[in-house]
Chains A and B, each alone.
Chain A
Amino acid sequence: MSGPSTYVPKSALGRWFEERLPLGGLIHSSFVAYPTPRNLNYMWTFGGILSFMLAAQIVTGVVLAMHYTPEATLAFGSVEYVMRDVNFGWMLRYLHSNGASMFFAAAYLHILRGMYYGSYKAPREVLWLLGVVIFLLMFATAFMGYVLPWGNMSLWGAKVITSLFSAIPFVGDSITAWLWGGYSVDNPTLNRFFSLHYLLPFMIAGAVVLHVWALHVVGQNNPAGVEVKDVARDTVPFTPYATAKDGFAIVCFMIVYAWFVFYTPNYLGDADNYIKANALQTPAHIVPEWYFLPYYAILRSIPNKLLGVIALVAAVGITAFLPWLDTSQVRSGRFRPAFKLFFWLFVASAVGLGYLGAQEPTGGYVIASQILAVCYFGYFIVVLPVLGLVEKTKPVPPTIADSILPSPAPAE
């Protein structure tokens, strides 16, 4: 999409530097001149929102790490020290803990947008796969971050999730012991999780660079799902158009974020994590954070541990195969009436699984989780491959401009 930069710095110093390292040209071609489809809706602002959240998490996290002590007997107290004695420490910590939830909320909306408008389809498969990699890294980062306050849910959550590896035949127990650095979740586990929790966000940042690069090679998808044919007619430059729109969306998103941080900072958290980790006292009800709940429900819906773990891994991993599972020739869901219905059923089943993941795994709840898990997987392995072959789609506009311009009287 973006060709060689035509950017020429105004100052002599700028030109001198540009001849030696065309940094200005890179930024100019990526974030100023980059052509964006003119028909993007607000669902396309989540990329900018996610970049903002990644930066916010890294900044608050780096400062928190200056005050936090990753040691099993001191960690819980050091978080309370941040909350009580560090200047604005409560704000930093609430920004960071709620920031994780905001990050996931934006990521889920970003992913669902991609699924609805078929953004994973050719030629954007690598772009999509990089997104799956980022998503997996986010999972690992968030999970390990939740362990750091060393509350009782941190400890028992870590125990439940790391124990999943013990389901692997023959080597499972060895892998679990290796992850723990001992025979239970303890100080060595906390130390390595802190180290990795600091490392992974920078790996996310690296994957984001590749994700954006891939995006700029193939260009953005758009609600019409048709490729740019005429840059002048179908697109507008990134700056000022996308920057102004993303800027507005980011501020709106910050209002929601601020609501959580300043008014309901513990709404999404678990009260048990304000109890210091205690290996002898199991919480009445071990639940992960909300963003893991659908997967947790899928895990628990299968009574066999190994099969449950396989289902959990498959639930996340199957998203990587989306570009090849969806057989439809039409990219955007806008022109696929039957797809729309199934898409929203899929969203409803994921939300339903999220609700069930927070409930006690008994009787009716388990049965409901099983039904919804079948719906979840059914969307990927039955609906998408079959629907593309049998579905009757609506006519697709020939160009992006045609999809938004008032249709002129038929010329021919």
Chain B
Amino acid sequence: MIPSILRSLVRPLALCAAFALAAPAFAQQAEEQPIPTHQSWSFAGPFGRYDTAQLQRGFKVYKEVCSNCHALGIPFRTLSQPGGPEFSKGQVEALAATYQIDDVNDKGEAIKRPGRPADTIPWIFANKAAAAAAFGKAPPNMNLLAKARSFSDGFPWFVVNLFTQYQEQGPDWIYAILNGYSKPEDRKWNLYFPGHAIAMPSPLDSLFDPKTGKALNAGFYTDGTPVTKEQVSKDVAAFLMWAAEPSLDARKRIGFRVMAFLIAFAFLAYFTKKKVWSDVHAHA
């Protein structure tokens, strides 16, 4: 007991001198794993807003690709909310009606009925266990994915990020993963995934040829946006950011007003204080 106490007290002291030498060794401990690069997003920065057309394209990617495995877990109605993909009410009703929802009728019998806007977008699996049975591991629910994934830029950049208001680690991470399947022969190897072995095989292989990277269906987007892997992954990452943070537009809009008010108020408070204290300083 006593030697271990002594060791824990003496060792740091003995190593004080070695501290400067030990510092460079920290950097080498970092795993050789690239961190995602910062993409440019319409919703970044103090005046950032979601790009409605991009969210609509992103929803299409979700529906055609992601939804084959992942739950989204948000109601249809949110797709017509302001500050989101802003589909029309009619479009959302029509979309919801294409799904069959489990319900109970007034006789207590289990039935299936067409979906309504208030329903949660159903998952392709009945439950988590069914998904886990199919894939070995249940694919994560996507409604918070863009806030539940992150990475650190390391010192000093994480400090800089506070001032540049960088909060897009999640979409950058998703974008990097979707573009990180760099081995055509191993579709479960991802450059950006910790340890590189990812359970999800490259999901965009259904849209792009793994070898050439060319779009299998050049008419995937109907609004004239070029169908490239970069574009598609950006669109779906932006959509997932909206799904995770639907209040972002309102938050930044209100934030600007709050800031403008507080800064003006601070000036008034400052001059009030100056006036109040002027006689004290005069006597001082």
Contact = CB atoms under 8 A, between A and B. Distances in A.
A27 interface: no
Interface in B1-44: 4-5, 8-9, 11-13, 15-16, 18-19, 22-23, 25-26, 29
A242 B60 CA distance: 59
A284 interface: yes
B262 interface: yes
A245 interface: yes
A8 B76 CA distance: 64
B8 A307 contact: yes
Nearest to B257: A262
Interface string B138-151: 00100110011110
A362 B30 CA distance: 11
Given A251-B262, A262-B255, A38 B8 contact: no
Contact of A241 (B29, B250, B280): B280
Interface residues of B, number: 58
Contacts of A368: 19, 22
A363 B28 CA distance: 11
A117 to B, nearest CB: 20
A245 to B, nearest CB: 5
Contacts of A365: 26
A364 B23 contact: yes
Interface in B260-284: 262-263, 265-266, 269-270, 272-273, 276-277, 280, 284
B247 interface: yes
Interface stretch (B86-94, B95-103, B162-170, B209-217): B162-170
A367 B15 contact: yes
**Looking at chain A, what size class is its interface with the partner chain?**
35 or more
Contacts of B258: 258, 262
Interface stretch (A203-211, A264-272, A382-390): A264-272
Contacts of B129: none
Given A255-B266, A263-B165, A363 B251 contact: no
Contact of A271 (B13, B29, B170): B170
A381 to B, nearest CB: 12
A254 B259 CA distance: 9
Interface stretch (A83-91, A103-111, A123-131): A83-91
Contacts of B149: 271
Nearest to B173: A271
A263 B252 contact: yes
B46 interface: yes
A404 B8 contact: no
A370 B246 contact: no
Contact of A303 (B8, B26, B74, B251): B8
B68 interface: no
A387 to B, nearest CB: 19
A371 interface: yes
B251 A271 contact: no
Contacts of A259: 259
Contacts of A245: 273, 277
Contacts of A274: 144, 147-148, 244
A160 B76 CA distance: 39
A405 B162 CA distance: 41
Contacts of A307: 5, 8
B259 A90 contact: no
Interface string B34-61: 0000000000001000000000000000
B131 to A, nearest CB: 15
B94 to A, nearest CB: 23
B269 A91 contact: no
Tell me the interface secondary structure of chain A in the complex.
helix
B134 interface: no
B155 interface: yes
Nearest to A406: B284
A190 B258 CA distance: 34
Interface string A243-279: 0110110011011001101111111000110110000
A275 B247 contact: no
A70 B266 CA distance: 39
A160 to B, nearest CB: 20
B197 interface: no
A272 B140 CA distance: 13
Given A262-B259, A266-B167, A374 B29 contact: no
A251 B269 CA distance: 8
Contact of A262 (B16, B155, B252): B252
B82 interface: no
Interface in A376-412: 404-406
Nearest to A248: B269
A121 to B, nearest CB: 26
B29 A248 contact: no
Contacts of B246: 84
B12 A371 contact: yes
A363 B25 contact: yes
A252 B170 contact: no
Among A284, A307, A355, A371, chain B packs the most CB atoms within 10 A around the CB of A371
Contacts of A90: 247, 250-251
Given A251-B266, A255-B262, A364 B26 contact: yes
A108 B272 CA distance: 28
A247 B191 CA distance: 52
A374 B284 contact: no
Among A80, A262, A373, chain B packs the most CB atoms within 10 A around the CB of A262
A371 B246 CA distance: 46
B194 interface: yes
Given A241-B277, A248-B269, A367-B12, 4 more contacts: A83-B247, A91-B251, A248-B273, A301-B12
23 contacts: A91-B254, A244-B269, A245-B273, A248-B266, A251-B262, A251-B266, A254-B262, A258-B258, A258-B259, A258-B262, A261-B255, A262-B259, A263-B255, A271-B169, A274-B144, A275-B148, A302-B8, A303-B4, A364-B25, A367-B11, A367-B15, A367-B18, A368-B22
Closest 10 CB pairs of A and B: A262-B255, A370-B12, A271-B150, A274-B148, A248-B269, A90-B247, A244-B276, A244-B273, A274-B147, A274-B144
